[in-house]
Amino acid sequence: MDIYTLSFWGISIALMGLSVVKSKEKTFEAMKKSKHMMGNMIGEIIGIIFIIGIVLTFIPPESIKSVLGSDDTTLATIIAAIAGSVTLIPAFVAFPLVGSFVDVGASIVPAVAFLTTLTMVGVVTFPLEKKEFGVKFALIRNVFSFIAALLIAAVMGVIL
């Protein structure tokens, strides 16, 4: 395990201990509620794993690495941003999917561009957005979101 995982485990255990000391009843009631919530989410978690498996089956790791892990980071970032803009999957599926892309060799900047455009830009949902908010608003929001997503990816490239 890396230092971040160990840190989160340590913080969680310490806070859990503090909670038990402060109010044992409330802590165990919260644990019961979280167990129930986890039971309700298990189907979605299995679905996430299934979707990631299907994506990685139809898109071989070599293809992901050749497109998103290429030496031309700018082109890879633009391709990833466009793909993210037209893809419609929930964010809770996108995060582990992008993690899988990075694990098979995608560069961090294109991966972040894919993730941020996926969650911020809505080409597929544009007709609904246009209907509800108007063409001008929907267009401006999507353009600014696309630009912001590229800036976020660039900043992540500098930071990491």
Is the pLDDT at 59 greater than 90? The verdict is no
Element at 76 (helix H, strand E): helix 73-86
Asked if residues 87 and 119 have their Cβ atoms less than 8 Å apart, the reply is no
What distance lies between CA 60 and its chain's CA centroid? 20
Question: Which value, to the nearest 10 degrees, does the dihedral of the CA atoms of residues 15, 21, 25, 30 take?
Answer: 0
Asked if residues 137 and 69 have their Cβ atoms less than 8 Å apart, the reply is no
pLDDT at 38: 82
- Three-state SS at 136: helix
Q: Give the Å distances, CA to CA, from 6 to 1, 20, 24.
A: 7, 21, 25
Identify which of 96, 99, 97, 153 has the alpha carbon closest to the alpha carbon of residue 121: 153
Is the pLDDT at 4 greater than 80? The verdict is yes
What is the C-alpha separation between 79 and 70, in angstroms, rounded?
A: 11
- Model-level pTM? 0.68
Is the pLDDT at 13 greater than 80? The verdict is yes
Is the pLDDT at 87 greater than 90? The verdict is no
What is the mean pLDDT of the segment spanning 122-135?
88
What is the mean pLDDT of the segment spanning 50-58?
78
